[in-house]
């Protein structure tokens, strides 16, 4: 790079607006598709573990026996794969960004509903009719 080119680049940078956003000093622009963080509705979770299997960073841990769902916010890359994979739609992508973390942590654990109990079939509840002799 010649001196002339360098001077041109420096002058251009001096008199142009910054290419980066001044977040968090200025609030970031949000759209309906902004990926802030994953939210769960614990009442709808059936502990199927689909989100855990699909998560590329192993950020989710589902304990079926304990009926818990846990996310490690430090691992989550906010890709929304878990949101798309959840069969009961209990996971959603909130548009609000999480505050920056300065120390290891970010584990969030929820007690969830767990698998739905099967209702006994109406026919199975009745005793079978005896065959007429």
Question: Under the rule (CB under 6 A), what is the footprint of ligand SF4?
Answer: 38, 40, 45-51, 55-57, 59-60, 62, 69, 71, 76-82, 85-86, 88, 90-91
Answer for the pair 49, 91: CB distance below 8 angstroms, yes or no.
Answer: no
Q: Whose Cβ is closer to ligand SF4: residue 13's or residue 115's?
A: 115
What minimum distance in Å lies between the beta carbon of 87 and ligand SF4? Answer: 6
Question: Which of residues 49 and 98 has its CB atom nearest to ligand SF4 in the complex?
Answer: 49
**CB-based contacts of 37: which residues, under 8 Å, 6+ apart?**
73, 76, 78, 93, 94, 96, 97, 98
Q: Which residue number, 6 or 77, has a Cβ lying nearer to ligand SF4?
A: 77
């Amino acid at each position: 790079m010649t001196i002339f080119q360098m001077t041109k680049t420096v002058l251009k940078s001096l008199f142009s607006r910054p290419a980066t956003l001044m977040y968090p000093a200025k609030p970031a622009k949000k759209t309906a598709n902004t990926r802030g963080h994953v939210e769960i509705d614990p009442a709808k979770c059936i502990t199927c573990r689909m989100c855990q299997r699909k998560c590329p960073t192993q950020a989710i841990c589902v304990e079926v026996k304990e009926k818990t769902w846990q996310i490690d916010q430090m691992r989550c890359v906010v890709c929304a794969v878990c949101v798309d994979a959840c069969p009961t739609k209990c996971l959603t992508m909130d548009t609000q960004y999480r505050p920056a973390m300065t120390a290891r942590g970010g584990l969030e654990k929820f007690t969830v509903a767990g698998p739905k109990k099967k209702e006994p079939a109406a026919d199975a509840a009745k005793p079978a009719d005896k065959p007429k002799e």
